[in-house]
Amino acid sequence: MIKNILLVFGAIILHGNIFSQLPPKKVAKLYKTKIDWNISDNFSYLDKTKWTYRRPDRLTGDSEKYVSIVDKSYLSIQCDVSDKKGGGISGLNYCRFGFFVTKFRIRGIETNGPKSHTHPAIWGNRGNMGVDHKNAPVEGNDWMELDWVEYYAWSKQNCWDIDAPPNLNTKRHKELISVMLEHDVKTKFGDWETVGLEFTPNYMQAWEFVNGEWQKLGRKVPAGKEQSRDVMKATCFQNMHWIISNGYFGHKEGSDKDSWFDVDYFHYYPYK
């Protein structure tokens, strides 16, 4: 037991501020104190028991070409604008409720620069979109995609959205997407950032670690009986695989620069 605790805290210390990797004190009692390493990773190497490459599709090519581990320290995923392709990794293991925390940076995108064609994201989905394809088991016919760290030039600027498109009776309903953060442009591209996400049976709430403390980010989306932009239908709160990717979306006009999505760690504290 003591050895396991030391291993967890040793891994946390190696990757920066210990408090930025723990759930906020205000909500910490909701979550287990031990990281679930079936889902979590510090990316000293690509662990094939946890991850498979994202399979080629309209956004991604041969992910092995675009995914790398840098200095046995962090994950880096390139999106090559000339190739019009990027890559990603897909989780082999699924989970549900808990507190998620990640430290990341995005290089090659400018806050006030031209629109980037690239699409860095950390997101949860029933299907893992992987070469080794997996579907998480769900109860009933409702589920959702959970877009936590999702960058793209939806508006006139390169920005960040956090939202959850629902599948109701198996059908996707984009018009009923629940939104926690919409077109946020305050991110400092190129800098490391630490963000968190609560996913509980009762609500979803994003967090960010700023000036040594956790702050809520965007608005809380509660679980409810009906689906809307402000409320997520509770039956959509299902098991998910997590995906880290940097794909090519493209615009009629935009930046000719590649982007790199760097992830220092991805940690999951299960809900009690």
Q: What is the CATH number of the domain that holds 30?
A: 2.60.120.200
Q: Is the pLDDT of residue 71 over 90?
A: yes
In the chain, % of residues over pLDDT 90: 79
Pairwise pLDDT comparison (249 vs 62), residue with the higher score: 62
d(CA 61, CA 56): 4
Kindly report, residue by residue over 102-117, the tens digit of the pLDDT: 999 999 998 778 889 9
Residues 44-55 have a mean pLDDT of 98
**Pick from 149, 148, 141, 140: nearest CA to 164:** 148
What is the C-alpha separation between 4 and 76, in angstroms, rounded? 28
Number of domains composing the chain: 1
Q: What is the dihedral of CA 73, 95, 59, 164, to 10 degrees?
A: -120
Instruction: List, for residues 72-110, the tens digit of each pLDDT value.
Output: 999 999 999 999 999 999 999 999 999 999 999 999 998
Per-residue pLDDT tens digits for 137-179: 999 999 999 999 998 876 677 888 899 999 999 999 999 999 9
Q: What is the pLDDT of residues 213-237, one digit of tens each?
A: 999 999 999 999 999 999 999 999 9
Domain with 69, as residue range(s), is: 2-270
Looking at residues 180-186, what average pLDDT do you find? Answer: 81
Separation in Å, CA 126 to CA 70, 134, 175, 240:
29, 8, 20, 5
Per-residue pLDDT band at 15 (split at 50, 70, 90):
low
264 pLDDT above the threshold of 50: yes
Q: Which residues contact 6 (CB under 8 A, 6 or more apart)?
A: none
